[in-house]
Amino acid sequence: MDEPELWRHMSGAPKDGNRILVTIRQSEQGPAEVDLAYWSNGDQFGGEGWRSSDSSPGRIVEYAEPELKCWMPMPSANLARTSFPSPWEGKDAPELDGSGI
């Protein structure tokens, strides 16, 4: 992949089951984080939505849309890098369909 590693708005995230990196919003549970996630069409473990199973072996985590701030394609292998990129800390993009309230 020749594209630079840039965070992108979640509205464009692929919902084809491929794994991507996501920034999880800061909340009362802790600071913003990066996780490896994928879109699931739903199965015996839950309904349609964003999931992560790689950060906690044996445990599937489901994310609600508002919990995820932005996404990035999986970076190409780089043996010099030993961790995920930093979470995106910029201002939120304007809401696409209103405030959500």
Residue 80 confidence (pLDDT): 66
Lowest-confidence region among 1-5, 14-18, 30-34, 84-88: 1-5
3-state secondary structure the chain: CCCCCCCEEHHHCCCCCCCEEEEECCECCECCEEEEEEEECCECCECCEEEECCCCCCCCEEECHHHEEEEECCCCCCCCCCCCCCCCCCCCCCCCCCCCC
Domain boundaries, the chain: 8-72
Q: What is the pLDDT of residues 30-63, one digit of tens each?
A: 899 999 999 999 777 677 899 987 666 678 889 9
Between 15 and 78, name the one with better pLDDT: 15
pLDDT of 17 higher than 50: yes
pLDDT the model gives residue 78: 66
What's the mean per-residue pLDDT of the chain? Answer: 80
Share of the chain above pLDDT 70, in %: 72
